[in-house]
Structure 1
Amino acid sequence: MKLLNKNKKKTSLGDMIFYLCNGIFMIAFVIITLYPVFNTLVISFNDGTDALRGGIHLWPRKWTLKNYETVLTKDNLITGAYITVTRTIIGTLLALVTNALLAFIVSRKRFLFKRQLSLFWVVTMYVNGGLVPTFLLFKGLGLTNSFGVYVIPGMLSAFNMLVIRTFMNGIPDSLEESAQLDGAGYMTIFIRIISPLCKPVYATVALFVAVGQWNSWFDAMIYNRMRSDLTTLQYELMKLLSSVTNQGGSVENLKNAAGAVTPTSVRAAATIITILPIIMLYPFLQKYFVTGMTLGGVKE
């Protein structure tokens, strides 16, 4: 017992000060991070005209559901929500499959010109054709005024592919070699050996793609503006916010209008509706997200 007590390290005063400062810093960091989201939630439940007075921090001063009623009763909102959920699911699955297949191909040592192709894909991350050439290309391919414009252009991402490829490069080659000795082909190796080991990076890329698909509205405005049946939730919320902002009333008129909504209150309600599904999804993917970003980001 005496020997064990001697081996125990005593916590010095400097260590105690460090732990205390570190704890205070982390608590302050969490508060600074979460407060804007919580304050947005509070404003979304507060009367719009009352919110113009300011001073709302931790609790609504005048409770109301008018902001959410204004957002949820918007025309085409149900259609937009359906299209957004559909494009998020389909777009995420297609992007994950295509990026994983391509990453598996370029991560094989026997694949020729993989370094040259990797350099080419890196260049595409910084250089693009611009909005007008992209629009003309999509129009020539028949993607405008169609659901395909939501999922087909995002099937391949150089960044996501390189993240998956880097993760696959860290898998021992002996696993593939032993499978080949047993007669397994490349597709069998990819499905039954490589993919199960790549669950963390798959979850990370899936989260990236899903968030991008869920928040996207610009493509709906540019390519499917004439198709109300292909509108998205974010595009409808953007139009609602624009209509409230441009409703023509001054700040004083809004203050005198009992029960009226304001751009600030509608923006807060729309923000909560937008981020709620992602917040609900993130805890289930957090452990894979951290592992995938750590291992997939290691430089070769």
Structure 2
Amino acid sequence: MKIKSSTMDKVFVTCNTIFLVLFVTITVYPVLNTVAISFNDGIDAVRGGIHLWPRIFTLSNYKTVLNQQNIITGAIVSVARTVLGTIFALVTNALLAYVISRKRFLFRSQLSLFWVITMYVNGGMIPTLVLYRNLNLTNTFWVYVIPGMISAFNVLVLRTYMEGLPSALEESAMIDGANDFTIFTRIISPLCKPVYATVALFVAVGHWNSWFDAMLYNRMNAQYTTLQYELMKLLSSVMQQSGSATTGGNTAAAAVTPVTVRAAATVVTMLPIILLYPFLQRYFVSGMTIGSVKE
């Protein structure tokens, strides 16, 4: 039995190692391939066959991306909306989640059901635009932050985590004379760091990758443009130039192609998130797993 068990363990470890190596390869290869294409000559990249290393090295794609008009303004606005939007969303969602996670709150079930309904039903794009215009949010920076402060999904995630905390902590604090705000800030919040990091990462990635709201609400105001919107406009212009060059226009315009510009823009946009993720990884994993099993 010992020899058989040892053999099975070796087989399992071998198969598990092979699976993990293949999984990592499948996961990492698209990223490395995108980086290689971003450093490759545009016309040469159209031929294909680029894998992990550029065939003809060039920085033209990054120069095209970084020389885009309003790219610096867009980057500043994107960073500002990501930081402020994440902070405001985390504070408001955490406060609401704490309220509806308390068993003594009378309307906790009704409010939870109401927020779940809002996840599936909304007013539509035109009514939303009219509402924001009447609230004087259009053509302002705060249209990026205020409407997204409350998220039903994030509130429910935070509420579920808070409900899993021992109720004895709150009861003992109340016996010592602590009010709800003290309990939330000094007892509940320190224990919620994993789920806070998880929600913060969700919100930050959403703000950083958003471009449609800039086109919809601040299209005519260049000072409130975002990085993603500027990159989207750049990609559209490069595609038009490439099409005109293909039909007999200026062949020099095709030296930077949509394939390589899209790869360079992807690297530029994903780099900040990649740099941020390692600092939140351990909290992110805990926040996704702790409280998922009820005893």
Q: When the two structures are superposed, what TM-score results if normalisation uses the length of structure 1?
A: 0.93
Q: Quick check: 2:65–2:265 contact (8 Å CA) kept in 1? A: yes
Using the TM superposition, name which of 257-266 and 90-99 deviates more.
257-266
Using the TM superposition, name which of 287-296 and 248-257 deviates more.
248-257
Q: Quick check: 2:82–2:204 contact (8 Å CA) kept in 1? A: yes
Alignment of 1:136-151 (within 5 A): 136-151=130-145
Alignment of 1:66-81 (within 5 A): 66-81=60-75
Alignment of 1:1-300 (within 5 A): 11-247=5-241, 248-251=243-246, 257=252, 260-295=255-290, 297-298=292-293
Question: Which digits, 9 at most, give the CA deviation of each residue in 1:44-81, with x for residues without a partner?
Answer: 00000110111111211100000000000111011000
Question: Which digits, 9 at most, give the CA deviation of each residue in 1:160-213, with x for residues without a partner?
Answer: 010000000011111111111111000000000000000000000000000000
Could you tell me how far apart the structure 1 residues matched to 2:282 and 2:3 are?
Answer: 32
Q: Which residue does 1:3 correspond to in 2?
A: none
Q: Secondary structure at the match of 1:151?
A: coil
Q: Kindly tell me: are residues 263 and 233 of structure 1, through their superposed partners in 2, closer, same or farther at Cα, counting changes over 3 Å?
A: same
Q: Quick check: 1:50–1:255 contact (8 Å CA) kept in 2? A: no
Residue identity opposite 1:289 in structure 2:
F
Q: Secondary structure at the match of 1:202?
A: helix
Q: Secondary structure at the match of 2:144?
A: helix
Residue identity opposite 1:47 in structure 2:
D
Residue identity opposite 1:156 in structure 2:
I
Could you tell me how far apart the structure 1 residues matched to 2:62 and 2:85 are?
Answer: 28
Q: Kindly tell me: are residues 9 and 277 of structure 1, through their superposed partners in 2, closer, same or farther at Cα, counting changes over 3 Å?
A: farther
Aligned residues: 294
1:13 Cα offset (Å) = 2.4
Could you tell me how far apart the structure 2 residues matched to 1:13 and 1:261 are?
Answer: 56
Q: Secondary structure at the match of 2:56?
A: coil
Question: Which digits, 9 at most, give the CA deviation of each residue in 1:207-226, with x for residues without a partner?
Answer: 00000000000000000011
Q: Quick check: 2:138–2:217 contact (8 Å CA) kept in 1? A: yes
Aligned-pair identity in percent equals: 68
Q: Quick check: 1:42–1:60 contact (8 Å CA) kept in 2? A: yes
Q: Secondary structure at the match of 2:69?
A: coil
Residue identity opposite 2:92 in structure 1:
T
Could you tell me how far apart the structure 1 residues matched to 2:43 and 2:249 are?
Answer: 6
Q: Kindly tell me: are residues 21 and 254 of structure 1, through their superposed partners in 2, closer, same or farther at Cα, counting changes over 3 Å?
A: farther
Q: Secondary structure at the match of 1:241?
A: helix
1:14 Cα offset (Å) = 2.6
5+ residue gaps, structure 2: none
Could you tell me how far apart the structure 2 residues matched to 1:32 and 1:87 are?
Answer: 33
1:249 Cα offset (Å) = 2.7
Q: Quick check: 1:52–1:255 contact (8 Å CA) kept in 2? A: no
